[in-house]
Structures are given as structure tokens and as C-alpha cells.
Amino acid sequence: MRLLVSGGGTGGHIYPALALIERLKQVEPDTEVLYVGTTRGLENKIVPAAGLKLKTLHTQGFKRSLSLENFKTLYLFVKSVHDAKKIIRDFHPDVVLGTGGYVSGAVLYAAAKMHIPTVIHEQNSVVGITNKFLSRYVDEIAIAFEAARAQFPANKVHMTGNPRAQQVAANLNSDYSWTNDGLRDDQPTMMIFGGSQGAPKINQSVVDAIPEFNKRDYQVIFATGQKRYQKVMEKLRNVSVGKNVKVVPYIPDMPKKLPKVAALVSRAGATTIAEITALGIPTILIPSPYVTANHQVKNAQALVKKGAALMILEDQLDARTLLLQADKIMENAAVRQKMAEASKQIGKPNAADLLIDVLKKAERDHQ
């Protein structure tokens, strides 16, 4: 298969694409892939590092208020569609996949107008503006949350889950030992992190809760985010940190460690949810309030309704609410087991394979 993939701006659009590509090359080693991203997005580092060819287009998003910048956005979109058609003609893809971001709008629109098979993948429960626009033109639509189904033309939708889930599920039988982090393997361990940059409100709540965490019979590994580590350590200067609590700037080898955690405290991004449901990890979700259409709350609610997670809204987060929910999970093995089973019911450990089937359907239907 000759696959052209477009998705850019954030890791949430890039990592599912890379997981899909990795799996496709396992089942079809002769697969040829070209990735089309933005000139300024994270894909400029991540995609070449994965050994893939990258082409870039200059795009930007629409302002939600009246702005002269929107005229520039429209001009860049038209230009990007023209440039995308040239890239498509040169590469001759069998199918084109869009995983989100403004750049995928231009690329998938161009491909659809050229009558090339097209598929979009929506990672979130609230559909992004680009995929809403593209849904009228593409052949097939893959979703990761049932809540997204009603926001698309019904005859095009396929529930596949997020390809990142299958990539993570491959590490299900990890032999990682917590002794590498100065912790023990005979106590349940809760991991807390607010994303790669860290989250100030989560960090402050954990700092305030540490004196109580010290007294618990479970362990806590807490990642502050690299750029916020020093600030957190300053706040802990006069606080005793117990042997059962480990404070780190970031968590390397996450795929190896996640299968070993008893519970997780995290944001509710689409990639995170794909990972935790693939592994069946009981989770306390703290949705970011700084995202479009409050989609992380909707993502979290999908798990809460199934009994797979608890949720604390950021404006309700403090040491007391965090400890209350942490104890509810960590001090009761039966609760953890029930939540883990509910999480696995949501997860799609074969998500990449399901998305490959959708790509092949789009390709077949054009023959």
C-alpha cells in the first residue's frame, strides 16, 4: 500500500498516525508512506525521528472572532490545497489518511477532489472543526469514542478506537521493577502526571497532599513536568517526603511502566485514554479546561459512565479531593479490579488493525 498521512500541530494527531504506520509496516512490509504536516508543528521533529519522509505545508487556523487574520487563513488554505495536489500527484497514494489539525483539512480536501480514497480518524469525543468540514468529502470516517458517531454522516462511520492503544497493549506483560525508581514491587503504585509540561493546579494539589500520602500503604510516583520540577522542589524544601513517594521531573520508559501501575492520575487527552483503556488502568481523570469545546471533559465522562474512571474538575481540585479519590481506589483492591475490567471493555487493543481495515475498504470501493 502507498499511504499518504496528514496530521499535525499536536502529539494527539501525530502519535496515532505513527502507531498506525508501525502496525501497517508489520503486516505489509513493502508499504510506502509519506507524511504531510505543518511547517511549525511537532511533526517536524517527531516524524523524521520515526524514519518517515515528511513534506510540509504552511497553514493556520481560523480565529473564532472577527479578524483580518481569517482572510490570510483562507488564502493559506487555498494555496495549501494547490500544493497538496502536487504532492499527491508526485506520490501517487492508494489511500490518504487524515488524523486532524488544519493541515489535514487541505490535504484530505485536495485528495477527495482528485477522487483518491480518503479516510479521517477522529480521536476525541467532540469532533474537531477540521474533521467536521472534511466529513462531507471523505469516503470513510474512523472514531475512537461512540459520542463522536452522531456528529458525522452515519453511513461513513466506523468504530476503530485509537491506534495508539494497540501499540501500548504490546507492552502488557512488562517486567519492569519499581526498584529502579527507589520504590517497592510489593505495594500498589499510583502514578500522577499532568502531561509533558506538567500542570500547575495538579502539581500544587499533590504538593499539599504529600504529608498525607506519606502515611498511606500505597506508593506514589509523581511527575511534575520538566520545566516545573525546580519550582515544585522549592515548595517541598520544608516538607518531609516519605519513602513511598517519589517526585520526578518526567517519567521515561512510560510504555514499560504503565502496565505496572495500580492506578493513574492524569489529564483526559485522547491518546492517554487510548493507552489506559488498552491496559485497563483505573484512573482519576482531571480534564484540562484549556482545550477546544471542553472536549477533555467529554472524553472523561465516557469512562466515568462505564465505571472505568473517576473525575475531578480542575476548579474542584485540591489536596482533599485528590486524597479522597485516590484512597477510594488505592485502598480497595476490589474497586481497582472492577474499574480495570470496565476500562478494558472500553479499550480497543486491536485499534490499528481495525483502522487498516477501514483504509482497505476505502481503497477497494474506489476500484
Judge if 266 and 289 occupy the same domain. Answer: yes
The reported pLDDT for the residue numbered 66 is 59
Q: What is the pLDDT of residues 133-175, one digit of tens each?
A: 999 999 999 999 999 999 999 999 999 999 999 988 887 888 9
Q: Give, in degrees to the nearest 5, the angle at Cα 341 between 337 and 346.
A: 145
| Domain count within the chain | 2
Residue carrying C-alpha cell 504531510 = 36
Q: Which residues contact 334 (CB under 8 A, 6 or more apart)?
A: none
Q: Is residue 74 very low, low, confident or very high in pLDDT (cuts 50, 70, 90)?
A: confident
Assign 176 to helix, strand or coil: coil
What's the rounded Cα separation, in Å, for the pair 118 and 134?
Answer: 10
Judge if 153 and 195 occupy the same domain. Answer: no
Residue carrying C-alpha cell 497532599 = 209
Judge if 297 and 358 occupy the same domain. Answer: no
Q: Is residue 12 very low, low, confident or very high in pLDDT (cuts 50, 70, 90)?
A: confident
Q: State which residues form the domain around 250.
A: 178-346
Judge if 315 and 228 occupy the same domain. Answer: yes
Grid cell listed for 175: 517486567
What single-letter DSSP state applies at residue 337? Answer: H
The reported pLDDT for the residue numbered 61 is 66
Q: What's the mean pLDDT in 221-249?
A: 95
Secondary structure (DSSP) of 236-273: TTTS---TTEEEES--SSHHHHGGG-SEEEE---HHHH
Q: Which residues contact 292 (CB under 8 A, 6 or more apart)?
A: 126, 128, 129
Check whether 124 is labelled as a binding-site residue. Answer: yes
Judge if 360 and 337 occupy the same domain. Answer: no
Grid cell listed for 342: 470496565
Judge if 320 and 335 occupy the same domain. Answer: yes
Judge if 207 and 151 occupy the same domain. Answer: no
Q: Is residue 195 part of a domain?
A: yes
Q: Is residue 95 part of a domain?
A: yes
What's the rounded Cα separation, in Å, for the pair 39 and 142?
Answer: 26
Q: Is residue 266 very low, low, confident or very high in pLDDT (cuts 50, 70, 90)?
A: very high
Judge if 187 and 76 occupy the same domain. Answer: no
Lowest mean pLDDT among 10-14, 96-100, 182-186, 202-206: 10-14
Q: Is residue 170 part of a domain?
A: no
Q: At what angle do helices 319-330 and 333-346 cross, to 10 degrees?
A: 90
Strands of the chain, DSSP E: 2-7, 32-38, 53-57, 95-100, 118-122, 140-143, 157-159, 189-193, 219-223, 245-248, 263-266, 283-285, 309-311
Closest C-alpha to 22, from 128, 200, 170: 170
Q: Give, in degrees to the nearest 5, the angle at Cα 101 between 95 and 103.
A: 65
What's the rounded Cα separation, in Å, for the pair 43 and 332?
Answer: 42
Q: Is residue 173 part of a domain?
A: no
Sign of CA dihedral 136, 138, 140, 146: negative
Q: What percentage of the chain reaches a pLDDT higher than 90?
A: 81
pLDDT exceeds 90 at position 331:
yes
Residue carrying C-alpha cell 487541505 = 106
CA distances from 67 to 38, 64, 78, 347 (A): 22, 8, 18, 41
What single-letter DSSP state applies at residue 9? Answer: S
Which CATH number characterizes residue 260's domain?
A: 3.40.50.2000
Check whether 271 is labelled as a binding-site residue. Answer: no
Q: What's the mean pLDDT in 230-242?
A: 95
What's the rounded Cα separation, in Å, for the pair 320 and 18?
Answer: 39
- Higher pLDDT: 65 or 313? It is 313
Q: How many CB atoms lie within 10 A of CB 228?
A: 18
Q: What percentage of the chain reaches a pLDDT higher than 70?
A: 97
Q: Is residue 169 part of a domain?
A: no
What's the rounded Cα separation, in Å, for the pair 38 and 47?
Answer: 11
The reported pLDDT for the residue numbered 75 is 82
End-to-end CA distance of the chain: 14
What's the rounded Cα separation, in Å, for the pair 131 and 113?
Answer: 16
Judge if 146 and 214 occupy the same domain. Answer: no
Chain mean pLDDT for the chain:
93
pLDDT exceeds 70 at position 70:
no
Asked whether 350 and 283 are in contact (CB, 8 A), the reply is: no
Output the furthest CA–CA distance in the chain (Å, rounded).
69
Judge if 271 and 361 occupy the same domain. Answer: no
Check whether 21 is labelled as a binding-site residue. Answer: no
Q: Is residue 172 part of a domain?
A: no
